[in-house]
Structure 1
Amino acid sequence: MLPIDGEIDLEGTINLGEDPYETNCTEGNVYYLENSKASWAQANVWSSTKFNKATPDTERVPCSDDIVEFPANIQTTVTLPELPQHVRYIQVGDQQFTSATKFYNYVITGSDQPIQFFLNTLYSVGLVIGDTQCQSRSGCPCQDNILQIDCSSKYCPVPTCVHPIKPIGHCCKICGGYIFFDITKSFDIMEFKELVEKIVESYGSDKLEYHIGRLPNDKVQLVIVDKDEYEGTSAEVLNTINYNMKEHWVEGTKYAQISGSPLYKSGMAGKIFISMFFLVVCTIGMIYVYYYKVPEIRYPMMGRSLPTFLARIQRRSDSVVSLTRRDSVMTSTGRTAFRNPLYDSKRGRVQVEEEVTPQ
């Protein structure tokens, strides 16, 4: 037997091309398939009907009341957990293991099985197998020992909101909202779930997904996301739940965070401001043109002598008023001229005397 960290060195040569001495070989393509490796604490390894978009990665591993199944038609190597994890029982193909001892014997003797299990320690599989049920009114955490989740294989899409959030236990930033708070001894997790379900249904349960997680050290986390594309509904629902939570549920820290508006709505305020700005500028320009006429520029007629300058710009074109001396000579233009008799003329000035009437 080889040690865990042992290796085998093979010496030889690889010849590329056709072998002239081989006459019975049919041509074809040969592909090298990489051995599949996974870790118990690796994100996106486990699947379950109870998972949704709001489920944190730390709670996507088997919980204490879960049945762990490994299909018989897969070939993989699984690294077992370092910290003790409690599960109901383990199913590998057609074999069922209800105790850690039986599973350990299978692991160390199953070298010819398609599913290989890698031990972190030589004498333990890191699992506690047995049927347990939560008896606490405030709920029970998924596991008492939270594993350090390996997020290296997790694909994180680009969030479609202004301020993405990252709830406790999530590998990626998401759009939605979450509440994290310390619970009191009188906290009833079923009562809290009824409040969440009632508010979610009022907004439309077909549009939202949520997850309520009971964490160690008397903490609870609620995560809400939009089921399809983020529209901001989950953020509104979280605010409503936060407002309607009962005071006797919370003791100490209470933290709520939402991700804000969708990205396609984030630039609406700026677009509206720019549109209004140009509208005001155009309105002012139209008013200016209306009250202050644009200067008239006359061009010479074709066929006549071209002046060396353009016509003088006249900003007032309605009428011309000029001031003249009163002794200037008035020339007749065919119209009748009226003179003011109070001014000097050939007839002389009219004398007006004041008469005092005795009383």
Structure 2
Amino acid sequence: MGSSLAFLLGVLQLLAATMAAYKKWIPNTNFETASNWDKERVPCARDTICFEKDKVVSVFVRSTHMLTDMYLPLNGEFLLASGSGFAAFDGSWDPGCGSGTVLSFVNAEQHSWFNPKLWQDVSSRVDLEPAGRIFLLDEERVPCQYDHVIFQPETSFSVNLDSSRQEIPVQSISLMGQELSSAEAWAEYLRSPSAAWQFHGNATLQVTGTRCPHSSGCACGNSQDGDRICASLLRAERCPALACHSPLRPLGHCCGVCGAVVTLDFKPEFDLQQYRDRVMQAWLSLPKYAGVQMAISKVHRAQTFLGLLPRGSTPVIQIVLVDGEAGVQTGTAAEQLAADIMGDISQHGEALGIPAGTVEVATGSALGGQVAIHASRQIASGTVLGLLFALLVLGGLLYLHRKGKLRLQALHLPRLWDRAEDLNSPKPESGRGFDNPMFDVELPAAGNVEETLQEMAPEGHQTGSLQSLQGEESALSEEHSASSLEFPHFSKFS
């Protein structure tokens, strides 16, 4: 008998493991729900009930209610269960009502699809029990693209679908006790009057009816609305104060955590469900890890060029480990579990389809060595890769230049002896120069030499013969030639 029961439990666990995640919508707009009224109680016979006339509502009524007065909206619906309804109060004594007051129905349009607090992750469709040791990242608390969505039977609801996307995909939607798992069935429901009162906003739900096609799992797909999710989650309260140094910020989570984050590379044969079961059975079931919780999923890690320019993303498996320790012991149990996981990967990683992994740790201890070592290794590897890439680019440019396909602008690089020559050459002193008559002066023709000398000679002086003048001209020409060789850079001294 015991073996049969164990086998049955094993089969049920296997079936549950192969099923997709189910997310149940928590709030409703039922008439009998006290939180739907401004006085936080269900109306009684002597009360006056008010619905805002411009608000569209869908209200489920489970039983019969006596009323004194009720103001209805211009548009909406009452969904009446069997035997339920409204009746006029006859004025008889009602012991629990008192003198009566005005009760207003609370506006339910602020209930956003992307508020993680309004969803509950359930383990199966049969018992709808909360999940155990596994917790979800904030983005994954909202229905993911391959999840099943459940709206509880015999309830009415109103969901705001404002999103950064035009369509929000899910695998199936169950409402009013009926499961819609195809695009055709969902399109038919959207044509009903109730759909317009239940779903509103700038986006629409898309029922795909498809499951995740990869054994390694699928990313949730809510990253585009990550800011909206965090804004909804942190509207009422901020992130809690943490006891650890340099809290970690897992991908897909709104607040920092103490503990450890393990990031795994994976091969196509990696099985996410089997590996999660391996971690739970091998370590999380141990008494020393009784306070540790784990979130494990596929996420997309952003890639950058030289740590600056974004260049897409790559999928990785992220394991987030947190514990219930306090003070300096905060995160230490999670740190030890992360070390056990990495030790197992070093021995069996290839067989599991995990070629590599990294760990980040944040604990209450003042020693954050593992985090610092991990970061320095990342920086060093990034620097090496950047240098290699720069060398490849430079080599490619030189290759193209040698092939004549790329022309590089010539650069003048002065030689050392040119610098020395410039330093040894004396600079002319300002105000002490003279005009050299042999430069930039046109020599007169032979026939006009005598006339020219007559003009240049001072009064009272006589000029020599033409032969002596030609001799002087020849001497001046030699002097001109010598001057040109001695001062090659100047055409005029001044």
Question: TM-score, normalised on structure 2?
Answer: 0.41
Q: Distance in 2 between matches of 1:191 and 1:141?
A: 14
Structure 2 residue matching 1:213: 3-state secondary structure? strand
Which residues of structure 1 form unaligned runs of 5+?
1-6, 9-23, 267-359
* 1:92-171 pair list within 5 angstroms: 92-107=175-190, 109-111=192-194, 116-121=198-203, 125-130=204-209, 132-137=210-215, 139-144=216-221, 146-149=223-226, 150-154=229-233, 155=237, 156-171=239-254
Q: Kindly tell me: are residues 38 and 234 of structure 1, through their superposed partners in 2, closer, same or farther at Cα, counting changes over 3 Å?
A: same
Tell me how far 1:33 sits from its aligned partner: 4.3
Tell me how far 1:220 sits from its aligned partner: 0.6
8 Å Cα contact 1:69/1:92 also seen in 2: yes
Paired amino acid for 1:243? G
Which position in structure 2 is the counterpart of 1:30? 102
Tell me how far 1:210 sits from its aligned partner: 0.9
Which position in structure 1 is the counterpart of 2:143? 62
Q: Distance in 2 between matches of 1:250 and 1:83?
A: 36
Tell me how far 1:172 sits from its aligned partner: 1.5
Q: RCO greater where, 1 or 2, for CA within 8 Å and sep 6 or more?
A: 1
8 Å Cα contact 2:171/2:211 also seen in 1: no
Q: Is 1:39–2:108 an aligned residue pair?
A: no
Which position in structure 2 is the counterpart of 1:201? 285
Tell me how far 1:167 sits from its aligned partner: 0.8
Paired amino acid for 1:100? A
Q: Distance in 1 between matches of 2:202 and 2:319?
A: 33
Tell me how far 1:89 sits from its aligned partner: 1.9
| Structure 2 residue corresponding to 1:257, chosen from 360, 382, 405 | 360
Tell me how far 1:166 sits from its aligned partner: 1.6
Which residues of structure 2 form unaligned runs of 5+?
1-52, 55-90, 92-97, 124-130, 301-313, 369-494
| Structure 1 residue corresponding to 2:158, chosen from 60, 72, 76 | 76
Q: Distance in 2 between matches of 1:220 and 1:231?
A: 20
Q: Distance in 2 between matches of 1:228 and 1:32?
A: 45
Paired amino acid for 1:222? I
Structure 1 residue matching 2:270: 3-state secondary structure? coil
Q: Distance in 2 between matches of 1:118 and 1:89?
A: 18
Percent pairwise identity? 22
Q: Kindly tell me: are residues 218 and 75 of structure 1, through their superposed partners in 2, closer, same or farther at Cα, counting changes over 3 Å?
A: closer
8 Å Cα contact 1:83/1:145 also seen in 2: no
Question: TM-score, normalised on structure 1?
Answer: 0.54
* 1:264-283 pair list within 5 angstroms: none
Structure 2 residue matching 1:48: 3-state secondary structure? strand
Hey, which bits of structure 1, 4+ residues long, moved more than 6 A?
none
8 Å Cα contact 1:53/1:225 also seen in 2: no
**Aligned residue pair count:** 237
Tell me how far 1:241 sits from its aligned partner: 1.5
Q: Kindly tell me: are residues 200 and 77 of structure 1, through their superposed partners in 2, closer, same or farther at Cα, counting changes over 3 Å?
A: closer
Tell me how far 1:108 sits from its aligned partner: 5.0
Tell me how far 1:188 sits from its aligned partner: 4.0
Tell me how far 1:260 sits from its aligned partner: 0.8
Cα displacement string for residues 243-290 of structure 1 (whole angstroms, at most 9, x for unaligned residues): 3324544557x4422221279x99xxxxxxxxxxxxxxxxxxxxxxxx
Deviates more, 1:209-218 or 1:192-201: 192-201
Q: Kindly tell me: are residues 224 and 46 of structure 1, through their superposed partners in 2, closer, same or farther at Cα, counting changes over 3 Å?
A: same
8 Å Cα contact 2:296/2:319 also seen in 1: yes
Q: Distance in 1 between matches of 2:134 and 2:243?
A: 15
Cα displacement string for residues 164-201 of structure 1 (whole angstroms, at most 9, x for unaligned residues): 22211111122221112332334343563355231333
Q: Is 1:218–2:315 an aligned residue pair?
A: yes
Q: Kindly tell me: are residues 153 and 84 of structure 1, through their superposed partners in 2, closer, same or farther at Cα, counting changes over 3 Å?
A: closer
8 Å Cα contact 1:53/1:227 also seen in 2: no
Q: Is 1:238–2:315 an aligned residue pair?
A: no
